[in-house]
Every structure is written in structure tokens, then in C-alpha cells.
Amino acid sequence: MIQFIKIDEHSRVPKYKQIVDSIIFNISIGNLKIDQKIPSINRFSEDFYISRDTVEKAYNILKEREIISSIKGKGYYITGTKLVSKLNILFLINKLSTYKMTIYNSFVNSIGTNSNTDLQIYHCDESLFLNLLDKNKNNYDYYVIMPHFKTNDSRHVSFTTEIIDAIKQIPKEKLIVLDNIKLALDNDIIEIYQDFENDIYNALIEGLPKINNYDKLILVYPEKAVYPYPRRILSGFKKFCGEHSISFEILNEVYDDMVIKKGDLFITIEESDLVNLVKIIRDSKLTLGKDIGIISYNDTPLKELLGITVISTDFKVMGETASFMILNKEKGKVKVPFNFIDRNSI
């Protein structure tokens, strides 16, 4: 093996990392095979005139990644070859939606080609989520999680005791929490999030000059849904209306025979409610953006194409920020921008 390993004395890359990278590279191109014995720490240290501590540090990293293993009395052996030259990432999302995929695609494009990202969807189901974590424990370098779950009566919940216990089994340096951070975890992890209550509140304040042109503000919030939404959205909406003396109503859905009136301004969350509302407006003699207004929650390319005003997190930034922090080994909390985007529907 010694003939394949390259150590550059003049490089700014630490020698232990050069050892790790060189062994991984030689496995990836076939110079080193699974079950092949490699030099002892002392032999490696002597052949390359490198301190024993440096070689030991490199070997410990390779053992943690399950690339090599030690057998007492026999030495060190290559034990893993699958994608060892790449970062292996498990990406867990609660649903397959346009904006969730925007986050995922942005993350994959930003993390680069030297990675393998496996996407899994757990459909807000606690049992499925726990099974996926248990099945894949110790298999990945990073675990990216969007924690949104539902109760037995289809209401939103951020976590349960079982979910917290399972997530805490993931080493802190491998954990990235996206979108919803109401998990009460320690701070020494990556957290990139929306602030659901204050985001909708501040976005509506940004749109207040136009909102004031309408008589009533109506939030269509699905109280129970297959993929439920945080109730903090409701809190921020009520806070905004109360502080600005705005007449409001909260509906569970847009009904096919719903009565709409001139001066109504709707905020829709689900795509189906947006579609039904646009159909009702088209069938009426009222004009969208003048007599009736629509603000949609969470932007998509289709809403942009149709000219629908939105209040939305920048999902592309969320994915990019996660990849940047992984690549630069940063920790901490980052709040993603949430914007009022004015178009033709208000």
C-alpha cells in the first residue's frame, strides 16, 4: 500500500487528512481492495517519517467511517468500499411537494458531485420516520431532517418523546434540522428554519398597504389534513389581524358553493383550495386583484407564472445554506428569509 500513498510536505492540508484522502482515493480506483491488510500505525509512521499520533488520528477517522477495521493481534484491514470517496447523506422530508423538492434540489446542486444524497419521505408518520432512522443508523455521514408529524386526529405536531429520543441518537456533528426547529435539541447542531408565527405576521405587515384595500381577510387553514400545517401560522395571522383591527375569518377549506363578496381577501395554504377559489372567482362577475384578492402561502413556479401574490420562505436559500454549512463544517441556527411577493392577485 505504501507505494500508492502520497503525502505532500508543502501542502496546507493537514497530514492526517492527506492520509485519509489518499487511502479513500486508492480504494475508489481499485488500488486497495476489501479485506486487504494495511500497514500498522508504527510501520506507516516509520515509512513516511510522520508522527505516530498523526497516523493514529487518520486511522481513527477511517475506522469511524467504517472504511478500515482493526483485528486484535492481526492488524488493520480495508472493510468498506461503497461510496467511500463521497459524502453519504440521508435527506428525510415529510411530504413530496413542489417547495420541499425545491429545498432538496437546491441542496443537491449546492453540495456538489462529491456526495450521494438519498431522499426518503415519511409522510408525517411517526412510525415510518422512526423505522427509517433505525434502519439507517450509522449508514450516513449526515442526516438532514424536516420534522413535521401528525397526531391521530390529523393535527400538526413538531415532535413526540420517541422522536426526540431517536434524533438524539444521531451524533450532533451529523445532524441537520431544516424548516421546523421546535425540537428542544442542544444548540451544537445545524438548524435552518422558518419562524412560522412571526414570518406570516411580518409578511402581512409588509403587505398591509394593499391588504387595507379589502374589507375582510379570510385565512383558509385546513384544521385537519393528510399533511398538517403548524398552528403557529394561525397564531401569527390572528396577532396581525388583532393588532391592526382587521376583520377576519378562518375557514377549514374552500367550498364549491362558497359565497364570496366584493372586498374579500383570501389567504390559501393548500394548492387545492387555491385552485377551487380561482374557479369560483372566474365563475363570478368579480375581478381577481381588484374586487377579490388572493395571497397564497408558499411560492411555486406555477404561482409565479399565474401571477399569484404569495407569502413564502425562500426554499432555494434553505437548501443552499444547509449544503454550505455542511461543506464548511459550521454549526448554529440560521433563519431563512420569508417574503411578501406582490403580484397581480391583490
pLDDT at residue 316 in the model = 95
Selected from 3.40.50.2300, 2.40.160.10, 3.40.50.300, 3.40.1410.10, the CATH number assigned to the domain covering 197-312 reads 3.40.50.2300
pLDDT along the chain (346 residues), means of 10: 85 90 83 90 93 95 89 87 68 94 95 88 96 88 95 91 93 93 78 96 97 97 92 97 97 92 97 95 93 97 95 96 93 94 96
Please answer whether residues 142 and 171 qualify as being in contact, where contact means their C-beta atoms are separated by less than 8 angstroms: no
| Intervals of CATH 3.40.50.2300 along the chain | 87-194+315-336, 197-312
Closest CA to 333 of 232, 187, 209, 202: 187
Selected from 1.25.40.10, 3.30.420.40, 3.40.50.2300, 3.50.50.60, the CATH number assigned to the domain covering 87-194+315-336 reads 3.40.50.2300
> In terms of pTM, does the model score above 0.75?
no
Q: Over the stretch 139-188, which tens digit does the pLDDT of each residue have?
A: 888 999 999 999 999 899 999 999 999 999 999 999 999 999 887 676 68
| Domain 2-78 annotated CATH 3.30.300.30 | no
pLDDT at residue 83 in the model = 46
Three-state DSSP string of 190-223: EEEECCHHHHHHHHHHHCHHHHCCCCEEEEECCC
**Separation CA 67–CA 63 (nearest Å):** 6
